[in-house]
């Protein structure tokens, strides 16, 4: 049973992933992201190895989205999404196994230059791709940041754990993917 706060957070995440706002998450959302990002999906900005961003998107899709596709149809409705996440968070002790790959995939996606730290510009660029306004993304990063201007992987994991599991309305992790 999800709490009201968890429902709101998972709704927020669904809205972010359903980039074309047609009510299902599917590959068309990634085509839409490719459209709005211009060249960003063909050349990952700042990446030392020149990995195309679409490679990261593919990995993100396989590790973060596919496990939620219970019907194996390649489309995920809000109900499926919420139900699948509900099952995963029902056993918090299984968080690392069930959701760890998704957390890492999201971090790798946002860490555009792949240096293991998410700086403000990377967060704003990535979240804006997914439909947050730049102003909302900047305000959100300011709340997430503990003052050094960087989100490391461990910090991101702690925030993600709160995002999925916490029932504290004051937890900063509530804001990981933008204001609720």
CA–CA gap between residue 84 and residue 72 (Å, rounded): 13
Q: Which two tokens stand for residue 30?
A: 């990634």
The sign one gets for the Cα dihedral 11, 170, 134, 27 is negative
Question: 9 to 38, contacts with Ca ion by CB under 5 A?
Answer: 18, 20, 22, 29
Find the shortest distance in angstroms from Cβ 139 to Ca ion. Answer: 20
Check residue 40 for interaction with Ca ion (CB under 5 A): no
**Does the protein bind Ca ion through residue 109 (CB under 5 A)?**
no
Long-range contacts of 46-53 (CB under 8 A, 24+ apart): 46/112, 46/113, 46/114, 47/112, 47/113, 47/114, 48/113, 48/114, 49/114, 51/114, 53/112
Q: How many residues bind Ca ion (CB under 5 A)?
A: 8
Helix (H), strand (E) at residue 159: helix 153-165
Q: What is the DSSP string of 6-27?
A: HHHHHHHHHHHH-TT-SSEESH
**Shortest distance, CB of residue 78 to Ca ion, whole angstroms?**
10
**113 contacts Ca ion (rule: CB under 5 A):** yes
Confirm or reject binding of residue 108 to Ca ion (CB under 5 A): no
Is residue 51 involved in binding Ca ion (CB under 5 A)? no
Q: Does 68 bind Ca ion (CB under 5 A)?
A: no
* Closer residue to Ca ion in complex, CB, 29/104: 29
Q: How far is the CB of 149 from Ca ion (least distance, A)?
A: 11
CB of 21 to Ca ion, least distance (A): 7
Contact footprint for Ca ion (CB under 5 A): 18, 20, 22, 29, 111, 113, 115, 117
């Amino acid at each position: 049973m999800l709490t009201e706060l968890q429902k709101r957070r998972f709704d927020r995440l669904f809205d972010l992933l359903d980039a074309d706002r047609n009510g299902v998450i599917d590959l068309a959302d990634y085509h839409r992201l490719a459209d709005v990002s211009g060249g960003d999906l063909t050349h990952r900005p700042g990446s030392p190895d020149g990995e195309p961003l679409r490679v990261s998107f593919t990995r993100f899709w396989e590790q973060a989205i596919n496990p939620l596709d219970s019907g194996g149809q390649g489309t995920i409705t809000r109900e499926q999404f919420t139900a699948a996440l509900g099952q995963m968070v029902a056993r918090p002790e299984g968080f690392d196994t069930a959701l760890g790959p998704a957390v890492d995939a999201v971090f790798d996606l946002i860490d555009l230059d792949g240096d293991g730290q998410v700086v403000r510009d990377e967060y704003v660029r990535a979240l804006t791709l997914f439909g947050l306004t730049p102003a909302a993304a900047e305000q959100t990063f300011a709340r997430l940041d503990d003052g050094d201007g960087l989100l490391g992987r461990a910090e991101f994991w702690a925030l993600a754990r709160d995002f999925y599991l916490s029932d504290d309305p004051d937890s900063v992790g509530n804001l990981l993917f933008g204001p609720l």
